Amino acid sequence: MMQSHAYQHKNVAVFGLGKSGMATARQLKIGEAHVFVWDDSEIRRKAAMDEGLSLRDLIAEGWPRTDALVLSPGVPLTHPAPHPVVEMAKRAGAEVIGDVEVFLKEKKAGRLIGITGTNGKSTTTALVYHLLKSAGRSVAQGGNIGTPVMDLPELDEEGIYVLELSSYQLDLTPSWQADVAVLLNITPDHLDRHGDMAGYATVKRRIFQKQTEAGVAVINIDDPLCDNIATCIAIHGMARIVPISTKQDVAGGVSVIDGLLKDHSRSDQSWTMDISSIASLRGRHNWQNAAAAVAVASSMGLTAEEIKAGLTSFGGLAHRMEPVGTIGQVAFVNDSKATNAEAAEKALTSFENIYWIAGGREKAGGITPLAPHFDRIAHAFLIGEAKDNFAATLTGHVPFTKCESLVQATERAAAAALKDQKPAVVLLSPAAASFDQFTSFEARGDAFREAVIHLISEAQ
């Protein structure tokens, strides 16, 4: 584990005790820092007390003398207004950082791969990890996906850390510097936390901060904002750019057009592979993810044979177009990670005759951008806070049923699809956040999976 000796005998406040907050507080304590922790959740505070951590209400009890505030990524740093605890820390002269910053102060060896983007970063991170792992490299995966960074193992000089980084995490990591940095796309999301698109893009661009000519910048040039960032990096000579595209062949980069992958990112090897039949990489959005992952793997020295074998054996990501099972001609697909319209579009364009389960806590723009794909939807089953607004958007275009729960929606969608008596897909791709009914998109996906497994067992 990544013990935090950099803060030995220093006072550190940790605000927000989710997985990453607890992991950081735990390692800070082991590293002999003086740690004060707080969370608005009584359950989380009790868990912290059970581990021997010192509780302090950082607002009600006044700000303690501290050298740093480790802030949960979910707590507002700047927009719509800084959280009171942030303002108190800054007035006291304490640095405001996140767990990734603490991790960087402790990391003694190993190369860093950082991956960000509005959509696709989890699949790309998982695929990069899989390619490296299957090729026998010493590698650890974490950050915004899976394991908190402070729970990752300490790797040696040959080790590679593959980190998924959200915009929130980048905002709290001033010393970030990647050996290989990936930017997949920038589309409207989290604008309430970054002010506007310009602010959001500025934070995403930090994935490339402090890179030198020895660094590698993998950038999707199909995205106009990303392409502009690539131009700026090229002008200032900050890193070697490896462009990726699903629309055009790219010199010195990786493209996937109509399922045909071409890797021209290295002068010593150039190769092609048809990935259109790999189920876990279905759809143009996954071709983009594959292009990025191949660019990273190639820059890490993997051979074409190693990369091809890894692509073929990749099983996909849980909650991202995850096949759950079938009943007759009806397939059930868990795409709970699609928390906005941009992400849900990827699933809607990958299937036909869809019985769509959508809804939750609505994001800006709702599902209006999905209108061009409504003809793929046989019937929509709407849940959560967004169901009325989603219904208004679908009226006159797609038949819909409002449901009280995800389980009810799954049962009704299955019944309707089976009644259709032809190939169909029951697709959970909510195009909304999960927090109105679930603690996370993972919990939502797990609930869907359990409901489907129950239906399959009853049908046998």
Q: Which residue numbers are catalytic? A: 121, 144, 190
Main-chain dihedrals φ then ψ at residue 59, nearest 5 degrees: -105, -55
How far apart are alpha carbons 444 and 437 in whole angstroms? Answer: 8
Question: E strands within 385-443?
Answer: 400-402, 424-428, 432-433
The answer to whether the CB of 5 falls within 8 A of the CB of 32 is yes
- 3-state SS, 219-253, equals EECCCHHHHHHHHHHHHHCCCEEEEEECCCCCCCC
CA–CA dist 456, 450 (Å, integer): 10
Q: How many whole angstroms separate alpha carbon 11 and alpha carbon 3?
A: 16
Q: Is 107 in a helix, a strand, or coil?
A: coil
**Residue 95, CA distances (Å) to 9, 13, 51, 222, 263 in order:** 16, 10, 25, 37, 43
Which DSSP state fits 375?
G
With 0-12 / 13-18 / 19 or more C-beta atoms within 10 angstroms meaning exposed / middle / buried, residue 99 is buried
| Contacting residues for 273 by C-beta, under 8 A, at least 6 apart | 260, 261, 308, 311
Query: What span, in angstroms and rounded, lies between the C-alpha atoms of 249 and 255?
Result: 6
CA dihedral 362, 365, 370, 371 (to 10 degrees): 120
Secondary structure element (H or E) that encloses residue 361, with its range: strand 361-362
- Residue among 74, 67, 199, 189 nearest 120 (CA): 189
Buried b (16+ CB within 10 A) or exposed e, 392-405: ebbeeebebeebee
Q: Which amino acid is at 208?
A: F
The residue type at 126: A
DSSP-assigned letter for residue 53: P
Q: What single-letter amino acid sits at 290?
A: A
Match 């869809």 to its residue by tokens: 354
